[in-house]
Structure 1
């Protein structure tokens, strides 16, 4: 890892790549998860953990460290990785209000678009991921891992009607 504070070029790369990326991969203590975010005031802000919102990785708690990997928007490969200090923002604070204002604008298909801030204050966590170290020296090995177990996956045969062509009359 390169000393983040002493490298203006690396800080600029982290900011620009993270700002332009639609999602980042975040690893707390468990497996990495893709999270949508906004870049605001020198940090990535994420919301989640509540019903109907994105699940947050294990170990993503205030005062902890997290590994963030930013994919290239066009090639989807790793562009830069950085270590973040995690801070949880209390609902109602000025910092929370500005972050939620930005996050609300990026939240797609919210079931309750106007009441999102109130629901996030009750049920979710708003986290600030502040970069403290970064690297562009990425390992040659793939970071791919097996998909997380899910009841949504099926391994059975295809339904009989799938793939059949409709006859013309």
Structure 2
């Protein structure tokens, strides 16, 4: 499956302009917001200890992922596309070029002077390359909202409002 020139241009522009992409692996885990860099026609991201978590996403070399880019204007879904996941060998020329690009996007690194060494030893650097036509794009969105109910969590509470909180007038 090839990506049309229009879809390729949309993927590139949305990836360049958005600071976060929502990535969902092939497994049942929900999509996760990940920071990234656009380099050499692909989205590159890094994850692992001290970086953004990739656990549960099941992103494997040669596998696929679903990527959702949001609009810079209103934050809504703009483009959804399928990506082929690649994981180049740490220290190789492709890896080094991508790490140089990612390093510039990494904010507040505690060890900026040895960041590439730590990523090589402890983290995964992944390439997401668009594959096939965009599943959702301007003019081709699904009719439903796409909203999902909140996942079960101990942080969710339903119960009485504590007596110390003020009550809005006109409500019971």
Aligned pair count?
156
Instruction: Please tell me whether the aligned partners of residues 4 and 10 of structure 1 are also in contact (alpha carbons under 8 angstroms).
Output: no
User: Aligned-pair RMSD on alpha carbons?
Assistant: 2.3
Query: Which residue does the alignment assign to 1:102?
Result: 101
Give the CA deviation at 1:18. Answer: 1.0
Q: Distance in 2 between matches of 1:147 and 1:102?
A: 35
TM-score, normalised relative to structure 2: 0.81
**Residue pair 1:25, 1:34 contacting (<8 A) in 2 also:** yes
Cα distance, 1:154 vs structure 2: 7.3
Gaps of 5+ in 2: 167-172
> Residue in 1 aligned with 2:169?
none
Structure 1 unpaired stretches of 5+: 164-169
1:1-169 matches, cutoff 5 A: 4-5=2-3, 7-28=4-25, 29=27, 30-48=29-47, 50-56=48-54, 57-133=56-132, 134-135=134-135, 136=137, 137-146=140-149, 153=155
Question: How far is 1:31 from its partner?
Answer: 1.1
Do the aligned residues in 2 keep the contact of 1:67 with 1:83 (CA within 8 Å)? yes
Q: Which runs of 4+ in 1 moved over 2 A?
A: 140-151, 153-158
Superposition deviation, residue 143 in structure 1: 3.1
Task: Give the alignment's TM-score, normalised by structure 1.
Answer: 0.82
